[in-house]
Structure 1
């Protein structure tokens, strides 16, 4: 908060010292900052629902359009690919032309192509609309973290990030619940199309609120032009890694998928070299090289890769086991996840409001250990009850898993961005979101492949045990990497002496 406020004229009736909080600076970005946070969270919810809700609707889509399994898989993969490939570019565009402008463009485009997905007449139109929808999501999503850092004063930014994390966790878990309900309810005869139509009122509300409330001058100082060479290099590297991950299992993992993933490594290296060279020569790189000298940020990237891989792989494996192994309906499988959602809400509330500000990094470690205990509890339940397991048998394991997830995810983003400067915030937001998407893709691809392999050779119960074991191992690795994070997210600003 600017010290210039202390120089303004005192009100007619001056308050007693210490009796009231200091007023916020003028401007809508401060008066309405919690509405701004809500608008950003709506965008996050739309994106996360779109990546989880469609998997539940896929059988109904396949029944309408027919076609092979590859077409069915591309309904999800088209969105994932364009989203992951363009995320960092979208973040950099926010630095250059303004985060408010890019958020508006991304949200409007996302809403428009959600409508086109809903009215698709065949799988080709749906897959194409999903690809463009993912591209607009890549323009929309990275702007949120930078805008939050701009409109929230240091004393409140931790609370804002504490709300950000649990909404992401809850959206990921509630996606299958909502998807099962919408497809089964067949509202106004829309069937599976309602999973896309639900984005329209949310998206339009986001556009209106962002237009009215977001600060207009949100460019990053020193950002001059888009690094086209860096964009091509990074997009190619991400594509080489993500494409075989989402398509390899369906194709039987031919040799080119492994060569593609291996080829992404040197290309990432060339991209890093070029970014350093561009910054040294006075240019404006796509990703600020200084980010990777920030221990908090680089450690957070490692934690994010393993945590989001574990979370996505676990959700994918549980959904497969419930529907394919135990023969549950989409509604049954989705509603069974409610205890996990409640656990996330409780854990996030404790972590964000009480534990995180007081204990910092320790809360993340406790969260990962609690989540690991919940996963092992689920493993024990499936080992005991097998295919005849009921929803009641899973309540304890799901609730404990959700509790740990909530404890971890609430302070995670605040810690990850602890030492990031304003100049780096756009790049940092894009990289964090890209890591989240990358971790999720790795988790689904790796654990999904292992699940099907074990299920075909040893049965669904053994496949579930393998998935739970890998999830627990990934969480323990994330806990070890987490020791590189700072002990506290960010210190409270020192009071200004008058």
Structure 2
């Protein structure tokens, strides 16, 4: 018997997707919107550098920690329940963050807010897998890709605008309060519009607690030294990375054994699908370069050149606009062009970022936001042809009952890639700044070249996939002697 909603062929599917996209936008926006609010928080709460670092990085840490487990829960028990609970918790913790009276209060609220975001996001991707097929699925992922691109890039602009309107002392609170009315509406509409049951028979088995523990510990060990790179000065922190890899290897061994008896937290057989494995690798590497760009560009504009938070946000807007436009188009045409479309997008991103480096050579003689507007627009157009099409292709062969956990693992890779990329590119940025005696332009160019090089590695993976596909296709189409 079908488990789709009664009018799954009509507008209800797109309405449900719209609710999911709004929730995804909120949760992903809070990754970057807080960056420009740090000085205002510092003045209002007298927070230490360690407190401020936890406000920024704690969200990403708990976000990445919960993704796979939340996706598995949605697969097993229905995405509506997980989505509504996640959005409700996100709304509540946003309000608590906005009401914070001490640094500890704010840090605790941000940790819980990140966990709530981790509950919501795999449900949105799983929803697309569940409700859409064929070209419609590509269109839906195109809209999701546009949401990811816009939310990541527009965060500094929206944050700067809210702080400008709310005042330097308390404007940062509106960065959190703005989520509250939107979250309440999303909870009500999500309960009404999202499918009530999982696809297939409900899975009554427990959710693999050992697997949850091993994956959680492994992700924390990997992410903690990356997100605390500035405040945790001891070199011993990097010993956690190999320890995390060992724990994740143990997770893989456990899941392989557990799958013989029950449904595992994550089915490792998904990695036998080339589309899923290559797509996850491309996403991990691309987010390592893509997210770091906004981190160093905001630092360069505000701390180096003295631009306001609002102007710094406006400077990134061309990238967001290009990404939104190309994501919508890419989602519609990905089924026709496949992985080569992702490769083309990566080439355009590399060209656009290379143009930014060229425009800022020497000492920039004009307004940096104006000089970089067209190159960033070009890079954004390329990014839109990467994120949405790659997500569509990565999940194209994943069975719908495993869509949530598969999406959770894909997004966990994105979070790890983002943290690693910001750590590497940020380290080069600050070391260049120190070695050049405070030459912000040089530090920015050097670190942007590294971010571009990381993105070029994703391009190599895409080219390898395209080349292998061309070699396999002639064999697949050769006539067979068997009846």
Normalising by structure 1, report the TM-score.
0.89
| Count of aligned residue pairs for this structure pair | 464
Choose the corresponding residue for 1:321, options 300, 309, 331: 300
Residue 187 of structure 1 and its aligned partner are, at CA, apart by 7.1
* Cα pair 1:454 1:463 within 8 Å, conserved: yes
Across the aligned residues of Structure 1 and Structure 2, the Cα RMSD in angstroms comes to: 2.1
* Cα pair 1:90 1:430 within 8 Å, conserved: yes
* Cα pair 1:29 1:36 within 8 Å, conserved: no
Query: Is 1:373 aligned to residue 351 of structure 2?
Result: yes
SS at match of 2:229: helix
Q: Is the deviation greater in 355-364 or in 165-174?
A: 355-364
Choose the corresponding residue for 1:144, options 116, 124, 148: 124
Query: Is 1:248 aligned to residue 226 of structure 2?
Result: no
Q: Deviations over 1:11-39 (max 9, x none)?
A: xxxxxxxxxxxxx9843674411111111
Unpaired runs of 5+ residues, structure 2, are: 471-483
Q: Deviations over 1:234-256 (max 9, x none)?
A: 1111111100101122223x222
For 1:375 and 1:120, locate their aligned partners in 2 and report how far apart those are by CA, in whole Å. Answer: 39
Residue 314 of structure 1 and its aligned partner are, at CA, apart by 0.9
SS at match of 1:385: coil
Q: Tell me which residue corresponds to 1:233.
A: 214
For 1:323 and 1:189, locate their aligned partners in 2 and report how far apart those are by CA, in whole Å. Answer: 18
For 1:338 and 1:255, locate their aligned partners in 2 and report how far apart those are by CA, in whole Å. Answer: 37
Q: Is the deviation greater in 388-397 or in 168-177?
A: 388-397
Query: Is 1:111 aligned to residue 91 of structure 2?
Result: yes
For 1:119 and 1:284, locate their aligned partners in 2 and report how far apart those are by CA, in whole Å. Answer: 42
Residue 327 of structure 1 and its aligned partner are, at CA, apart by 1.4
Q: Which aligned pairs between 1:70-469 and structure 2 lie closer than 5 A?
A: 70-186=50-166, 190-218=170-198, 221=201, 223=203, 224-252=205-233, 254-280=234-260, 282-353=261-332, 355-386=333-364, 389-458=367-436, 459-469=439-449
Residues 380 and 189 (structure 1), Cα distance of their counterparts in 2 relative to 1, 3 Å cut: closer
Choose the corresponding residue for 2:42, options 41, 62, 66: 62
For 2:163 and 2:434, locate their aligned partners in 1 and report how far apart those are by CA, in whole Å. Answer: 29
* Cα pair 2:41 2:47 within 8 Å, conserved: no
Q: Tell me which residue corresponds to 2:17.
A: 37
For 1:484 and 1:295, locate their aligned partners in 2 and report how far apart those are by CA, in whole Å. Answer: 12
For 1:206 and 1:200, locate their aligned partners in 2 and report how far apart those are by CA, in whole Å. Answer: 10
* Cα pair 1:366 1:407 within 8 Å, conserved: yes
For 1:36 and 1:450, locate their aligned partners in 2 and report how far apart those are by CA, in whole Å. Answer: 43
* Cα pair 1:326 1:387 within 8 Å, conserved: no
Unpaired runs of 5+ residues, structure 1, are: 3-23, 489-498
Residue 324 of structure 1 and its aligned partner are, at CA, apart by 1.5
* Cα pair 1:165 1:412 within 8 Å, conserved: no
Residues 143 and 198 (structure 1), Cα distance of their counterparts in 2 relative to 1, 3 Å cut: same
* Cα pair 1:84 1:238 within 8 Å, conserved: yes
Residues 188 and 438 (structure 1), Cα distance of their counterparts in 2 relative to 1, 3 Å cut: closer
